Structure 1
Amino acid sequence: MADGLNNQRTARVADLLSDFRTLQYYIAAAPTDPLQSDDYYTEGWAALRQCSLDGQHILNCAADTRVPSARGGPEEQAKAELQQVLLDAYSRRHEAQKIYLRQQAAQRWISWREQVLQGQRPHPGNLEQLNACDRQLRMELSSITDDGIYSDMRSSDYQMGRWTLEDPRLRDVQRWVRARR
């Protein structure tokens, strides 16, 4: 019954976990507190703090270690376990990519805001430009979707020549994420 793909499954899990680790590094390195304390509750800084919390959550949430007993011996049991770990690693990477993209949008917002303010504080003369920055941030954040991330990551994996034969469906990833909220 063994299909001989456990080495590919193992390599795929290793690739996914490596990607996740890299994303976690970037997520943890992003700033969460502005230099000016009165900017603390602005949209971009609030988004960055939420990303930091989400990054910690996805890192700390427990893996689902319940694997049904497989018939067919040790190879089949290893296959079932690897498929479970593959779903976990794939879903964590997916969610980390979403967090990272949200952080990048918020960091662009900080740059736009700094360009508008030019070292000064908000005042009625730059209020419309600051509101435009906020609108742009909201638009960018709303454009970060599970479908887009899933598609981009699959395309990237394919271009890198990674084994993707048993990657989970987007529905399975979304179900995994919902179960950990």
Structure 2
Amino acid sequence: MSDGLNEYRTARVAEILADFRTLQYYIAAAPVDPPNMDDYYTEGWAALRQCAIDGQHILNCAADVSVPRTSGGPDEQAKAELKQVQLDAYARRHEGQKIYLRQAAAQRWVEWRDQVLLGGRPHSGHTSQLRAIDQQLRSELATITDESIYAELQASDISMGRWTSEDPSLRAIQRWVRARRR
């Protein structure tokens, strides 16, 4: 017996995929190479390159299409398939948001570093300021957690009036991500 919610599920998947597509655009547009290659191995530029790699991975990893057969007919099978696709899309959006936030922190680091160096090269007079900027980046990256991202995305979806009744749990998302890292 159908619950009549497959239209909502389909719309929800479309919303999540649209969000993910937007995130992928921003992730792909972020710089990965510094203007001066002497800065290549600095913390912020290394973080930006890792974000680009992570963004490519989340885009390229295969979807889990193993949906169990249901006994409730075509509508119930469609429901099971939509829930599987929703988990896949939701987890990709979650990971995309994490990458995007990490990139934003690294791009702030680049700006702060440029403000300290004023177009010049690092020297001993910059050491304490550059260390402080590196520490700020590490602190910001540490605040980007699965829990904070999940809560932020959930609050955003609710504020936009989106149907969130069947959104996957954070634990389900984390399982999905772990399965793609193997």
TM above 0.5: yes
Q: CA deviation at 1:103?
A: 0.1
- Summarize deviations over 1:148-177 as a string: whole Å, max 9, x none: 000000000000000000000000000000
CA distance in 1, matches of 2:163, 2:71: 25
Q: Which runs of 5 or more residues in structure 1 are unaligned?
A: none
CA distance in 2, matches of 1:151, 1:140: 17
- Indicate the residue corresponding to 1:97 in structure 2: 97
What is the percentage of aligned positions where both structures have the same residue?
72
CA distance in 2, matches of 1:7, 1:133: 48
4+ residue runs of structure 1 moved beyond 4 angstroms?
A: none
Check if 1:35 corresponds to 2:38: no
CA distance in 2, matches of 1:162, 1:116: 43
The residue identity in structure 2 corresponding to 1:164 is: T
Check if 1:131 corresponds to 2:112: no
CA distance in 2, matches of 1:48, 1:150: 22
CA distance in 1, matches of 2:35, 2:119: 11
For 1:1-181, list aligned pairs within 5 A: 1-181=1-181
CA distance in 2, matches of 1:58, 1:128: 36
TM-score by length of 2: 0.99
Root mean square deviation, CA, Å? 0.3
Q: CA deviation at 1:72?
A: 1.1
CA distance in 1, matches of 2:35, 2:107: 14
CA distance in 2, matches of 1:168, 1:96: 16
- Summarize deviations over 1:7-59 as a string: whole Å, max 9, x none: 00000000000000000000000000000010000000000000000000000
CA distance in 2, matches of 1:79, 1:156: 25
CA distance in 1, matches of 2:110, 2:80: 45
CA distance in 2, matches of 1:54, 1:126: 31
The residue identity in structure 2 corresponding to 1:41 is: Y
- Summarize deviations over 1:66-117 as a string: whole Å, max 9, x none: 0000111100000000000000000000000000000000000000000000
CA distance in 2, matches of 1:49, 1:125: 28
TM-score by length of 1: 1.00
